[in-house]
């Protein structure tokens, strides 16, 4: 299971080469899952207590993230029976189902709020985060491909929708609502401030910046290219310029049909695109390779809403093999599920995914 005897590079070397379109020993591998299926998977591969880092090591996952936990004052009121996010002030309620559970968004604090309430909605101070663990985390992940940020960092649509509801968020963004943009910029400046403080400590030990912005439904763009260019692009550019000041490549997470924005991404200096849901319009591996091959690196493509949940282990193996073969000559594909592996995924399919990654991912 997960034979890795052939490996000749560290994860750091492997991922750096992929970002540079250079041949390495194998395709880089990533992993992300919901807690219920993660614990089942960990047990199945012999990792006690579901230890996340041990699972990553066992399957040969190359990526590790470092960040700083918030230690500041409570900025948002607590509501019984709900969880409140200490950074962004959104509320969730745990909903159980036959496969596990999901934390559903609810009680949107800025829904139908007045302009003053929206503009002044709290955003944490970057100084109220604990950066003391950065050195230890970098030492622990020595030899791994270390990133800062994540799939939700610099996000505009989802993070705004979580506090005012998706419909109202999209309408206000479309109308360039001044109060919403004021709140948005305060929130993004907080995130950028945290990243800046992390890099002061991490220096040259970080390998890339990960951003996120869901831009598509399964069949079409979620917003217009004009709206992206006028509202989203200049705000994302601040994060990209920050990364480039440290010579870091940038990867951006975009769910759904989002390749319509990739030409802009290339102009902005983005190096890699993540998620790549193959069932969405203009997101299958063949199209992405033909249209953007050699200009962007690709991270994802193994569908958590398709083959992983609905197929069997043979289907998963064949999909991994086919996906790797399509991208192989680009030398820049990074294998990953398209999202968090969902609780209704058969454990044998998760095992098949990572076994196939090693079986077919060798260069």
- What is the tens place of the pLDDT at every residue in 267-310? 999 999 999 999 999 999 999 999 999 999 999 999 999 999 99
Q: How far apart are CA 131 and CA 196, in angstroms?
A: 11
pLDDT of 217 > 90? The answer is yes
* Residue 354 belongs to some domain of the structure: yes
* Residue 279 belongs to some domain of the structure: yes
Name the domain count of the chain.
Answer: 1
* Residue 58 belongs to some domain of the structure: yes
* Beta carbons of 334 and 15 less than 8 angstroms apart: yes
Condensed to tens digits (0 to 9), the pLDDT of residues 73-114 reads 999 999 999 999 999 999 999 999 999 999 999 999 999 999
CATH of the domain at 148: 3.20.20.210
3-class secondary structure, 363: coil
* Beta carbons of 46 and 80 less than 8 angstroms apart: no
Give residue 266's pLDDT. 98
Q: How many CB atoms within 10 Å of residue 74?
A: 9
Nearest CA among 54, 58, 40 for reference residue 1: 58
* Residue 3 belongs to some domain of the structure: no
Q: How far apart are CA 169 and CA 171, in angstroms?
A: 6
Enclosing domain of residue 137 = 11-72+114-360
186 φ, ψ (degrees, to nearest 5): -65, -40
Q: How far apart are CA 173 and CA 356, in angstroms?
A: 43
Q: How many CB atoms within 10 Å of residue 176?
A: 11
3-class secondary structure, 218: coil
* Residue 103 belongs to some domain of the structure: no
Sheet bearing 272-275, strands edge to edge:
63-65, 145-149, 208-212, 250-254, 272-275, 297-302, 333-337
pLDDT of 260 > 90? The answer is yes
How much is the mean pLDDT over the chain? Answer: 97
Give residue 182's pLDDT. 98
Percent over 70 (pLDDT), the chain: 100
Question: Model's pTM, two decimal places?
Answer: 0.97
Across residues 14-30, what is the average pLDDT?
98
Q: How far apart are CA 258 and CA 262, in angstroms?
A: 7
Give the DSSP letter string of 123-164: ---GGGB--TTHHHHHHHTTTSEEEEE-TTTT--HHHHHHHH
- 203 — pLDDT class (breaks 50, 70, 90): confident
Give residue 40's pLDDT. 97
- 315 — pLDDT class (breaks 50, 70, 90): very high
Q: How many CB atoms within 10 Å of residue 348?
A: 13
pLDDT of 21 > 90? The answer is yes
* Residue 2 belongs to some domain of the structure: no
* Residue 96 belongs to some domain of the structure: no
Across residues 146-150, what is the average pLDDT?
98
* Residue 249 belongs to some domain of the structure: yes
Across residues 42-52, what is the average pLDDT?
96
Across residues 232-247, what is the average pLDDT?
98
Condensed to tens digits (0 to 9), the pLDDT of residues 159-190 reads 999 999 999 999 999 999 999 999 999 999 99
Sign of CA dihedral 288, 289, 290, 293: positive
pLDDT of 212 > 90? The answer is yes
């Amino acid at each position: 299971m997960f034979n890795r005897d052939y490996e000749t590079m560290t994860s750091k070397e492997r991922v750096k080469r992929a970002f540079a379109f250079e041949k390495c020993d194998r395709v880089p591998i990533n992993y992300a899952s919901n807690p219920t299926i993660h614990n089942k998977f960990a047990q199945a591969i012999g990792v006690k207590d579901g230890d996340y880092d041990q699972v990553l090591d066992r399957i040969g996952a190359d990526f590790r993230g470092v960040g700083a936990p918030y230690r500041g004052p409570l900025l948002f009121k607590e509501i019984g029976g709900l969880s409140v996010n200490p950074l962004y002030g959104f509320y969730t309620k745990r909903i159980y189902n036959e496969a596990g559970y999901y934390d559903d968004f609810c009680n949107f604090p800025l829904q139908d709020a007045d302009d003053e309430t929206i503009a002044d909605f709290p955003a944490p101070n970057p100084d109220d985060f604990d950066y003391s663990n950065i050195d230890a985390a970098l030492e622990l992940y020595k030899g791994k491909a270390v990133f800062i940020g994540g799939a939700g960092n610099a996000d505009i649509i989802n993070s705004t929708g979580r506090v005012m509801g998706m419909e109202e968020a999209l309408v206000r963004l479309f109308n360039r609502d001044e109060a919403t943009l004021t709140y948005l910029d305060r929130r993004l400046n907080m995130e950028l401030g945290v990243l800046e403080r992390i890099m002061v400590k991490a220096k040259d030990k970080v390998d890339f910046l990960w951003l996120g912005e869901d831009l598509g439904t399964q069949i079409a763009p979620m917003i217009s290219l004009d709206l992206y260019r006028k509202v989203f692009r200049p705000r994302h550019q601040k994060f990209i310029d920050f990364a480039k000041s440290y010579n870091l490549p940038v990867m951006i997470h975009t769910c759904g049909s989002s390749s319509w924005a990739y030409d802009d991404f290339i102009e902005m200096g983005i190096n890699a695109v993540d998620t790549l849901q193959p069932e969405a319009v203009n997101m299958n591996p063949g199209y992405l390779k033909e249209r953007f091959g050699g200009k962007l690196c690709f991270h994802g493509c193994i569908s958590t809403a398709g083959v992983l949940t609905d197929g069997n282990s043979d289907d998963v193996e064949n999909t991994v093999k086919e996906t790797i073969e399509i991208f192989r000559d680009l030398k820049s594909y990074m294998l990953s599920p398209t999202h968090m592996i969902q609780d209704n995924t058969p454990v044998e399919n998760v095992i098949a995914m990572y076994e196939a990654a090693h079986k077919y991912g060798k260069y």
